[in-house]
């Protein structure tokens, strides 16, 4: 495989070490509480499933669809932005449907970037953010983020020290994995920096609805001039519990959206049309189901954080996302996140994601995904208690 340059640039998958151990233990009959991968376990709301079934029974929907998304879905996307954020979008020129955010982001970077281009991504980061750029042949410079960092100070230093100048900045708020938040002033500062430095921006809004305790998050596109410099991705995977359906969208800057639309026209014939029809119903239909899903996740967050604090692992409750970003307890910090994650598997029978998998600056943390029910989370806490001595 070293003959294939793009594959050669991808490092060994850090998560694989923990995943392989998890699978070996399961084959030996061990009961593992899996809080590693952020794979939603809550079924898709019934009215969305019903629409899929209805549309699937119509033979006309079995043909090739539109790679940029059917018109009804693109109109629903534009209305979703208008009703939710007050952002006006041209559904024909500024919206494109994607096979989840991951596919869309990867193909957008593929069409935008050339070898030698520089991309800024946070560190830690959701892996596709830096590696989509690397797959496209670009070079990545990582900007550290965290509660003890000044992002704009670090961004300014990186900008002054980097040549050639960056072409693209990828951001993601609420942030996976750190759960950090951004307000509208933050996004406005990003837009102003991007204009000053001639940089494009991609914002991943995957966790728009994963907000707790009364918090609501803004859209990057609400910032003045945001559409001049960037786009925003959203996926129905999390908010509507539709991860396996693979449907999302990209909205904003017309040049970027049209570049993605054009490359997709060469690469695919669009998502299975009944899925697009059901996604239209999800966006246009009653939204109470979204809050019900989020209430379940908030209950899981409380169970995990309250439980871990009770047994001696001090953790702050996140205000958003599907995750808990936990600093490794002091007595185990020298192990690093991979070995610590292996220990949790072996001794506590709990799977988590090692922070190193999200970047160098994540190696003193592990990430819990809230993808098991409260009973299983309580089981995980009891297992962790046994190794903490709490």
| pLDDT single digits (tens) 332-342 | 999 999 999 99
Rg (CA), the chain: 21
First to last CA, the chain: 47
Lowest mean pLDDT across 144-148, 189-193, 206-210, 285-289: 144-148
Residue 50 has pLDDT above 60, yes or no: yes
Tell me whether the omega of the peptide bond preceding residue 295 falls within 30 degrees of 0, making it cis: no
Residue 17 has pLDDT above 90, yes or no: no
Residue 389 has pLDDT above 80, yes or no: no
Measured in whole angstroms, the distance separating CA 235 from the mean position of its chain's CA atoms is 9
Q: 180: helix, coil or strand?
A: coil
Residues 138 and 119: beta-carbon distance below 8 Å: yes
Give the C-alpha distances (Å, rounded to integers) separating 158 from 120, 132, 167, 172, 345.
Answer: 9, 20, 13, 18, 38
Confidence of residue 1 (pLDDT cuts 50, 70, 90): low
Residue 79 has pLDDT above 80, yes or no: yes
Residues 159 and 197: beta-carbon distance below 8 Å: yes
- Mean of the pLDDT values across residues 362-368? 96
The per-residue pLDDT for 124 is 97
Tell me whether the omega of the peptide bond preceding residue 214 falls within 30 degrees of 0, making it cis: no
- Mean of the pLDDT values across residues 222-244? 97
With a CB cutoff of 8 Å and minimum separation 6, the contacts of 143 are: 120, 121, 122, 123, 151, 154, 155, 158
Confidence of residue 84 (pLDDT cuts 50, 70, 90): very high
Q: Tell me the DSSP string of 306-343.
A: HHHHHTT---PPPSBSSEEEEEPPGGGGGGHHHHHHHH
The per-residue pLDDT for 222 is 98
| pLDDT single digits (tens) 313-334 | 999 999 999 999 999 999 999 9
| Backbone torsions φ then ψ of 150, nearest 5 degrees | -105, 105
The per-residue pLDDT for 5 is 79
Residue 390 has pLDDT above 70, yes or no: no
Can you tell me the distance from the alpha carbon of 219 to that of 86, in angstroms, rounded to the nearest whole number? Answer: 10
Per residue, the 3-state secondary structure of 236-251, as one string, reads: HHHHCCCHHHCCEEEE
Residue 39 has pLDDT above 70, yes or no: yes
SS3 percent helix, strand, coil of the chain, rounded to 5, is: 50, 15, 35
Can you tell me the distance from the alpha carbon of 58 to that of 71, in angstroms, rounded to the nearest whole number? Answer: 18
Can you tell me the distance from the alpha carbon of 257 to that of 165, in angstroms, rounded to the nearest whole number? Answer: 23
Residue 12 has pLDDT above 80, yes or no: no
Tell me whether the omega of the peptide bond preceding residue 174 falls within 30 degrees of 0, making it cis: yes
Residue 16 has pLDDT above 90, yes or no: no
| pLDDT single digits (tens) 196-229 | 999 999 999 999 999 999 999 999 999 999 999 9
Confidence of residue 7 (pLDDT cuts 50, 70, 90): confident
The per-residue pLDDT for 2 is 62
| pLDDT single digits (tens) 269-291 | 999 999 999 999 999 999 999 99
């Amino acid at each position: 495989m070293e003959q294939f340059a793009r594959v050669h640039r991808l490092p060994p998958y850090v998560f694989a070490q923990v995943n392989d151990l998890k699978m070996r233990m399961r084959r030996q009959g061990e009961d593992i509480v899996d809080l590693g991968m952020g794979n939603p376990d809550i079924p898709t709301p019934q009215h969305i499933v019903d629409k899929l079934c209805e549309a699937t029974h119509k033979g006309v929907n079995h043909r090739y669809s539109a790679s940029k998304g059917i018109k009804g879905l693109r109109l629903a996307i534009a209305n979703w932005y208008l009703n939710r954020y007050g952002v006006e979008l041209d559904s024909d020129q500024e919206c494109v449907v994607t096979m989840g955010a991951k596919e869309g982001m990867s193909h957008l970077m593929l069409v935008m970037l050339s070898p030698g281009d520089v991309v800024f991504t946070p560190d830690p980061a959701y892996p596709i953010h830096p590696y989509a750029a690397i797959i496209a042949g670009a070079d990545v410079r990582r900007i550290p983020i965290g509660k003890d960092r000044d992002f704009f100070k670090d961004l300014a230093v990186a900008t002054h020290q980097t040549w050639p100048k960056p072409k693209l900045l990828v951001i993601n708020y609420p942030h996976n994995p750190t759960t950090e938040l951004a307000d509208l002033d933050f996004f406005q500062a990003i837009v102003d920096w991007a204009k000053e430095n001639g940089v494009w921006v991609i914002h991943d809004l995957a966790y728009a609805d994963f907000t707790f305790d009364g918090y609501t998050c803004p859209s990057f596109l609400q910032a003045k001039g945001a559409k001049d410099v960037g786009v925003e991705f959203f996926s129905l995977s999390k908010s509507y519990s539709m991860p396996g359906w693979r449907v999302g969208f990209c909205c904003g800057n017309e040049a970027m959206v049209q570049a993605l639309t054009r490359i997709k026209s060469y690469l695919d014939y669009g998502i299975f049309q009944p899925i697009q029809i059901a996604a239209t119903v999800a966006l246009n239909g009653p939204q109470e189901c979204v809050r019900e899903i989020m209430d379940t996740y908030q209950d899981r967050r409380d169970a995990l954080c309250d439980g871990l604090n009770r047994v001696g692992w001090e953790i702050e409750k996140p205000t958003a996302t599907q995750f808990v970003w936990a600093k490794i307890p002091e007595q185990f910090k020298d192990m690093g996140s991979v070995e610590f994650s292996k220990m949790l598997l072996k001794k506590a029978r709990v799977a988590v994601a090692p922070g190193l998998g999200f970047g160098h600056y994540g190696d003193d943390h592990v990430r819990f995904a809230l993808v098991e029910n409260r009973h299983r989370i309580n089981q995980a806490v009891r297992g962790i208690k046994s190794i903490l001595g709490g």
